[in-house]
Amino acid sequence: MTQLASIGRSAAIGIYETMVRIAACDQGIQKGLAAGELQFQYYPAGGQEAIAATIGALLDEGDRSVTTYRVIHDIVAKGTPVSEIFAEMYGKATGCSKGKGGPMHLSDPKSGLMVTTGIVGAGAPIANGLGLAAQLKGTGKVTVCSFGDGAANIGAVHEALNMAALWKLPVVFVCQNNLYAEYTSFKESTSSSSIADRAQGYGMAGEECDGCDPVSVYEAAGRAIDRARTGHGPTLLECIAPRLQGHAFGSEQTHMDQAQLERDIENAPLVTVRKRLLEEGLASEEQLAVIEKTAAEEVAAAQAFAAKSVDLDSSELYTEIFADDSLLPEGPGSGGVRIEDPKPSNTTKMMFGEAVNNALDTALASDPSVFLLGEDIMDPAGGIVKATYGLSTKHGLDRVRGTPISEQAIVGAAIGASLEGMKPVAEIMVCDFAMVCMDQIANHAAKLRYMSGGRTSVPITIRMMSAGNVGSFGAQHSQSLESWFAHTPGLKVVAPSTAFDAKGLLLSCIQDPDPCISLEAMRCFFVPGDVGEGDYRVPIGKAAVRQSGTDVTLISYSWGMQEIQAAAQTLAGEGVSAEVIDLRTIVPLDLEAVLSSVRKTGRAIVVHPAVEFCGFGAELSSKIHENLFAELKAPVARLGARYTPIPFNQTLENLHFPNAAGVLEKARSMLA
């Protein structure tokens, strides 16, 4: 074992000091849990202190970190004040995330710890985005992404490693291998003897080091960080450091090799590093005692600070979900959008798909922080329906980035880049594929603002096509998942039906401070319409009255508008005056526009492309009944897709989806 003196006396003592502070925090939290002062699931870091302490010593102030729920060593080493860490553990407003994140979601943008995820392996795609932003901006910043040996077998990590190697991103992937994935030993979960050896398969550097030895970590991590900082790409660094306790606080340890555990505890990094400092004459017993006493006092003061800190006010429940909390569909400040639609002086006739392309071109030309990423979006392909055709030729491959087929990596990279102030537009080829990356969308993009106490925002736009009701795509390429997205607090969801709105809503999404899902229906893609020239914004959260009427209100969005407008035309021939409402936006919901219309007509039919059972129509129907029950002339009717997978057979597909004939049947029955 190389002497600690090889890295310098000051560095060696500094690393030990950080290790002691980590251990003091770790033990302080466990004592609080044992005493009943704290109550949460906690994952101790005993045995892994040297990894975080050493890597932290090698990072610059502006470098970034992404880590996982076994986090206390990483966040202390990154420089977050211990008082803020403990206040977060106590769920207090003075915590690093205002008490909204808690022990599994600690973050601190001030120190550069951008994300701690409670989802195994999910941080790796986000780390890529942070690295991509640094690469695009030329900042020289490095991102360190820490995860355990269990996460090394998660698909998101594989996607991230491949993308990082492909783009030579300045990311160091640190597998803190404590030899247990929850309750399963490394040998029982992985046939290969080394995680680092996998790097060769991705075409990137890989190194293995002794995670209990600061010198071993210092040398290997130093090479990896230098490699990243000088533009030579990522490294997969495996730091082996046996776990010294069960998976979580209070967990049993019977699954562990008891003899080996005893040996590992006797040779814990804190014990061996302290001994080496003394043996090499780098520090005296008195110096080390002062370090240990100071750490204990720091933790005691932090616990006292946290215990006395102010609790969160009940009003905080509805804050930091969106940048503007008045846009929430519920809550004390909800109220919606009151902005008028734009009225461009000049318009041009173009297809819906051309309008999408025009919006992306406009955004790329006007804002250098905007970039696109997705599968096959670069020329000559230009996307599966040519929505991005010509853009990579015009704006370059750095800003119109074709990606591997890796939905988790695509959305994760967009999230990470957005945390650095970029405005990524990620394309998921068809809506069904969102299920592959729903963790990144629902657990990360949607929640990071809230979990960070408002310290971070995720201004990303995720474009996806719904390909239903155009024939030949079948059950796995035709679904509409707007209800799923709407059910996830933190996501905005738009579903334009016209070319004008396709451009204006997409431009609004791109400049919005929150994550936006833009659902673009293939059935609308080749429908022409008047589109404004230049940059204009259709407000997110404002419905449009497409036709005034007095007898019944027909409500839809996306391609459902084609069916209700056709039904309204037929009804007019029968002497029935239908008011037609295009929601345009699912979240925020313009409920006032809906209620105002139904208050006038006394009748409402809600039509949507998605399955009717548990669909968005159920929510809207409930809202109308709750607010206008005494004024309704008939119960609200719903018409959505049938409760079946989407058939390939054309006859069955026509039966599956809602249509104008079904709307007419509902309307006539209601009016009778």
- Please name which of 40, 56, 49 lies closest in space to residue 19, comparing C-alpha atoms: 49
- 188 Cβ neighbours under 8 A, 6+ residues apart: none
Q: In this structure, what DSSP letter does residue 295 have?
A: H
Provide the 3-class DSSP secondary structure of residue 222.
Answer: helix
Marked catalytic residue, from 105, 247, 477, 608: 477
CA angle (157 as vertex; 156, 161 as ends), nearest 5: 120
Helix crossing, 155-167 with 123-137: angle to 10°? 20
- 444 in active site: no
Q: What backbone torsions phi and psi does residue 600 show, to the nearest 5 degrees?
A: -80, -45
Q: Which amino acid does the sequence have at 77?
A: A
Least Cα distance to 371 among 394, 401, 393 occurs for 401
Terminus-to-terminus CA distance in the chain, angstroms? Answer: 89
Name the token pair of 508: 């609004």
CA-to-CA distance for 55 and 50, rounded, in angstroms?
Answer: 8
**What is the separation of C-alpha 125 from the centre of its chain, rounded to a whole number of angstroms?**
10
Instruction: Report how far residue 649's alpha carbon sits from residue 657's, in angstroms, rounded to the nearest whole number.
Output: 12
**Angle formed by the axes of helices 9-35 and 285-308, nearest 10°:** 40
Radius of gyration, CA atoms only, the chain? 28
Helix residue ranges per DSSP H, 310-403: 352-366, 391-395
C-alpha closest to that of 160 among 406, 400, 374: 406
Count Cβ atoms below 10 Å from residue 195 Cβ, excluding itself. 26
Integer Cα distance of 127 and 121 in angstroms = 11
Q: Where are the alpha helices (DSSP H) in 114-230?
A: 123-137, 155-167, 186-189, 199-202, 214-229
| 191 Cβ contact partners less than 8 Å away, ≥ 6 residues apart | none
Neighbouring residues of 54: CB distance < 8 A, sequence distance ≥ 6? 15, 214, 217, 218, 221
Catalytic residues, by residue number, are 477
